[in-house]
Amino acid sequence: MRHVLSALVQNQPGVLAHISGMFASRGFNIDSLAVGETETPEFSRMTIVIRGDDAVLEQVRKQLAKILTVVKVQDISAMNYVERDLMLVKVKANAAQRVEIAQLAETFRGRLVDISPDNVVIELCGVEGKVQPFIDLMRPYGIIELARTGRIALVRG
């Protein structure tokens, strides 16, 4: 089962290393991890996606709660939440292919953010189910580089 955890942590050096180290030392795999400062500069929000049964989830939550820099942890998987993944992809593209690639990007609500004679860089934001099919469509053109943020999420309302 896929779980999306939202952790509010103190914004200080070493927090990310400490938390990711806890996962590694306990043998838990992280599917996705994104962290950034919140509306309050003293805190950061970590969105962590893990797979496992309820026992794994409970163990992860207990271990996170023991870390002093962790303020609050929520499993938002069962809540009504908004989730996004940001991707930049550099694709080979000659002049003729650029129009076709731009149209595909627009279909997925993406946009070209850089154009050079031999390639384009496309920005796409959405749920994983939208991002992955776009990547698959770009493969035949020749993906040069790909960067993704990992999931970020907030509970609605």
* CATH label of the domain that carries residue 113: 3.30.70.1150
Check whether residue 94 and residue 69 sit in a common domain.
no
Residue 30 has a pLDDT of 93
Q: 59: how many CB neighbours lie within 10 A of its CB?
A: 13
Question: How far are the Cα atoms of 31, 51, 76, 129, 140 from residue 83, in angstroms, in the given order?
Answer: 14, 16, 10, 11, 28
Check whether residue 68 and residue 86 sit in a common domain.
no
Range of the domain at 117: 82-155
> Mean pLDDT throughout 59-76?
92
Model confidence band, residue 150 (pLDDT cutoffs 50, 70, 90): confident
> Mean pLDDT throughout 39-48?
95
Question: How far are the Cα atoms of 128, 139, 149 from residue 120, in angstroms, in the given order?
Answer: 22, 13, 19
Residue 26 has a pLDDT of 87
128 pLDDT more than 90: no
Mark residue 47 as left, alpha or beta (left: phi above 0; alpha: psi -120 to 50; beta: remaining). Answer: beta
Six-digit token pair at 119?
Answer: 């390639």
Pick from 79, 110, 128: which residue ends a domain?
Answer: 79
Residue 67 has a pLDDT of 93
Q: For the chain, how far is it from start to end, CA to CA, in angstroms?
A: 25
Q: In what order do the strands lie in the sheet with 2-10?
A: 32-37, 43-51, 2-10, 70-75
> Mean pLDDT throughout 42-56?
93
124 pLDDT more than 90: yes
Contact status, residue 45 vs residue 38, Cβ threshold 8 Å: yes
pTM (predicted TM-score): 0.83
Count of structural domains within the chain: 2
Check whether residue 113 and residue 45 sit in a common domain.
no
